[in-house]
Structure 1
Amino acid sequence: MIDQLIYRSLATEMKRLFEHFPVITLTGPRQSGKTTLCRKLYPDLPYINLENANTLQEIQDDIKSFFDKYSQGVIIDEAHNFPEIFSYIQIHVDEDKFKGKKDRKFIVTGSSNFALLEKVTQSMAGRTAVLTLLPLSYKELLQSGLAPTTNRFIINGGYPAIWLDESVRTEIYSNYYTTYIERDVRSIINIKDLRAFHIFLRLCAGRIGSEFNASSLSVATGVSVNTINSWISVLAASYTVYLLTPYHANIGKRLTKTPKIYFYDTGLAAYLLGIENEVHLQTHPLRGELFENMVINEILKEGYNKGKEEHLYFYRDKTQREIDVIRMKALNIEAYEIKAGKSYDKDYFKHLKYLKELLGEQVTRTTVLYDGDSNNDSTINGLYNFRDFSLYDNKLV
């Protein structure tokens, strides 16, 4: 538990871009800390929340008065509740530019990827910087004075509220889950069978790190394949899950074409799996998959916190050779194997060596990230415990 606000790594990039763009668009899951970050960085900017029905109605009734009222700029929270506002922001940004006015700034946030970014793409191209704030990274916790064990980090996840008071972790996730179902899901689609959706979400947690099979989930939940595909889109749009795409290349090998499913937050996944404490997690059959999910999340966060979108894939061919993460950087490839074990095994590098032989100089890095002791891995080239790559950017960037 900590008794202070945690410094967010994204703040550095956000402050830099604030000087160059009239609008900052900040997306990410509910409760990831978007509002806190914006209000802490820019305490002099007025703040409104479009979750407030009265505020939303007031803006919809008289949009002109709204912009007159905030002539120096404003933080607009949960803007996906009124995505049309981007068209109005565009008009005022263009007018300010024409008049040579540079002091009005808008910061808009939202937790629904589809509703927000669709309007951003349509209305705000070239006028806004788009950033994503995911839940806390391990490095951010380390910088705040915490050094949680692997199991503690997996089961707590990264939502700041839990690290402020771990004693109510279960209650926080229960409330988050209920709020998510009632607000985000129902605002995007009309779910006729809420019970089936609950089952579907828990089944997704049980299939972390596995290939996403809509037909299998259709049978398990009793709904159509089209419904399953619609539901997975909703989970992705609200930053609950993401699908890791398989790597494709013309290398004369039959590669899988089915993506794998992961959660943006392992704490929520653990909650859905009924894992109540670190003892349960240590012996749980999905502990390895949750560790893998956590490490991939850390790679995603490292990029997003620098304002960059990571291009991540996985490799699997017909002979079942598999590499957990293929990270594209321009035309180069970085390959990562993720192992939940605490002891080193020389076979950890087997598939990485194969990929290096297959693709040659295109593979610029082969790395194993595992749960071992950093004191034991310094003599093995390419082997790191995940805490080390959380501490040192040059291990991944």
Structure 2
Amino acid sequence: MIIIHDVNISLLSRFVAKDLEARMRVMPAVVVAGARQTGKSTLARGCGPKGRRYLSLDDFDVLDLARRDPDSLVAGTGPVTLDEVQREPGVLSAVKRAIDRERQPGRFLLTGSANLLMMRRVSESLAGRASYLTLWPMTRAEQLGRGLCGAWEELIAARDADWLEVLAAQPDERADWRALALRGGFPVPAVHLRNAEERDIWFDGYARTYLERDLQALSSIAALPDFRRLMRAVCLRIGGLVNQTALGRDIGLPQPTVSRYLNLLETSYLLVRVPAYSVNRTKRLMKSPKLYWGDTGLALHLAGESEPRGAHLENLVLQSLLAWRDARLGRAEILHWRTTVGDEVDFVIEIGDALLPVEVKATSRPRLRDARHLKTFRNEHGERARAGLLLHAGTSLEWLGPHALAAPWWRVL
């Protein structure tokens, strides 16, 4: 089991650990990507047999060798872990050559703080040689020591009529979602740091490191104040539709620059764009994606907000969904649905032919009217649509009608 030690010596497992081990038994290379400080290095160090060689490209000597002679860096037949490979994408070509000479399951474990498949400088995708995993910030269940990412798989597997029973069986661990949003999911502020002042210091250092070092490794940015203003503007628009022209107008940047900056944030796993569900139906649909942030704690810090909003509860649900989606082998899509007449559903989980709509409300007393768009969605999509899930900030677990189950967010996350 992959573990992280906090100051109380408790053991916190990561949800992807089991899946990572399974993929390493099959593929010659496994790539674990995610934002800085999500725990990739800790996960990688604890994975595989003892004696596995560990090399980090954050080490300047290792980075220099990766640039001068990458084949020597990966030479040998023993298993090796290469940490932060985005710092020298050319090393992937050397990994490919080594795999082609001798295909050995689990030979290479690679980690990166950027989406290698989205980086322009990466010409080698290791297609057919590597399996890709994403490590998102810690879920609430991981922070509680359960090593899970919520009850999504149980809900997908169960009949709609059994959902209430499935969620009633989940641990009764009531919590304030605002406190969780302020902590976020990066292991240090979420688990190790105990107060808002300490977390502010950590988030400030994180933002500076990203702007002054990591961002420059991805793309040369001369106007860092402009980029920081964009990050703040995006954080203030969590849960809203992407409008690059309006965003640029508000902060004084041209649309092409806004587009480029958003792409860099997405490549760094800090920005998340949720695509629109776009099957043509009787009503005209909005096709723009919605903007969210990879970590709510960092988003609140960058925006200068001390009190989370309802959109941050949506963001917490999305973070749990992403951790679940990206660790499972079966394909699943996380989308949103919105029409020009005002009907909207925060998230739509698409698996095969089935659609599971999820609405998130920060209210502590859900009412039937809060689920009206779930009913509209189900009417629009007929047999493909399952019953809807209304996640709220209260304690009631009950059917609001045949089309929607109201459930406390902490029963699912």
Above 0.5 in TM-score? yes
- Residues 74-85 of structure 1 correspond to what in structure 2 (within 5 A)? 74-85=80-91
1:198 to 223, 228, 241: 228
1:309 to 1:51, Cα distance in 2 relative to 1, 3 A: farther
In the alignment, the residues of structure 2 paired with residue 90 and residue 307 of structure 1 have an alpha-carbon distance, to the nearest angstrom, of: 23
1:112 to 111, 114, 126: 114
Partner of residue 22, structure 1: 28
Where does structure 2 lack aligned partners over 5 or more consecutive residues? Answer: 1-5, 148-172
1:45 to 1:80, Cα distance in 2 relative to 1, 3 A: same
How many residue pairs match? The answer is: 375
Q: Is 1:151 aligned to 2:178, yes or no? A: yes
2:348 to 307, 326, 341: 326
Q: Percent identity?
A: 26
Q: Is 1:387 aligned to 2:390, yes or no? A: no
Q: Which amino acid aligns with 2:207?
A: Y
1:314 to 336, 340, 353: 336
| Deviation of 1:149 (Å) | 2.6
Partner of residue 66, structure 2: 59
| Deviation of 1:78 (Å) | 0.3
Partner of residue 8, structure 1: 14
Partner of residue 126, structure 2: 124
In the alignment, the residues of structure 2 paired with residue 370 and residue 8 of structure 1 have an alpha-carbon distance, to the nearest angstrom, of: 26
Instruction: Answer yes or no: is the 8 Å Cα contact 2:25–2:105 preserved in 1.
Output: no
Query: Deviations for 1:79-122, whole angstroms, at most 9, x for unmatched residues?
Result: 0111111111111112113xxxx366110000111467778884
Instruction: Give secondary structure in 1 for the equivalent of 2:178.
Output: helix
In the alignment, the residues of structure 1 paired with residue 121 and residue 107 of structure 2 have an alpha-carbon distance, to the nearest angstrom, of: 18
Instruction: Give secondary structure in 1 for the equivalent of 2:102.
Output: helix
1:164 to 183, 192, 195: 192
Instruction: Give secondary structure in 2 for the equivalent of 1:352.
Output: helix
Instruction: Answer yes or no: is the 8 Å Cα contact 1:255–1:315 preserved in 2.
Output: yes
Instruction: Give secondary structure in 2 for the equivalent of 1:364.
Output: coil
1:37 to 1:63, Cα distance in 2 relative to 1, 3 A: same
TM-score by length of 1: 0.89
Instruction: Answer yes or no: is the 8 Å Cα contact 1:28–1:132 preserved in 2.
Output: yes
TM-score by length of 2: 0.85
In the alignment, the residues of structure 2 paired with residue 332 and residue 182 of structure 1 have an alpha-carbon distance, to the nearest angstrom, of: 44
Instruction: Give secondary structure in 1 for the equivalent of 2:337.
Output: strand
Q: Which amino acid aligns with 2:318?
A: I
1:324 to 1:379, Cα distance in 2 relative to 1, 3 A: closer
In the alignment, the residues of structure 1 paired with residue 392 and residue 123 of structure 2 have an alpha-carbon distance, to the nearest angstrom, of: 39
Which one has a larger percent helix, Structure 1 or Structure 2? Answer: 1
In the alignment, the residues of structure 2 paired with residue 309 and residue 81 of structure 1 have an alpha-carbon distance, to the nearest angstrom, of: 30
| Deviation of 1:193 (Å) | 2.0
Partner of residue 57, structure 2: 50
Query: Deviations for 1:310-341, whole angstroms, at most 9, x for unmatched residues?
Result: 41111111211111111111121111111111
In the alignment, the residues of structure 2 paired with residue 325 and residue 211 of structure 1 have an alpha-carbon distance, to the nearest angstrom, of: 13
How much is the aligned-residue C-alpha RMSD, in angstroms?
2.2
Instruction: Answer yes or no: is the 8 Å Cα contact 2:174–2:410 preserved in 1.
Output: no
In the alignment, the residues of structure 2 paired with residue 104 and residue 296 of structure 1 have an alpha-carbon distance, to the nearest angstrom, of: 31
1:152 to 1:2, Cα distance in 2 relative to 1, 3 A: farther
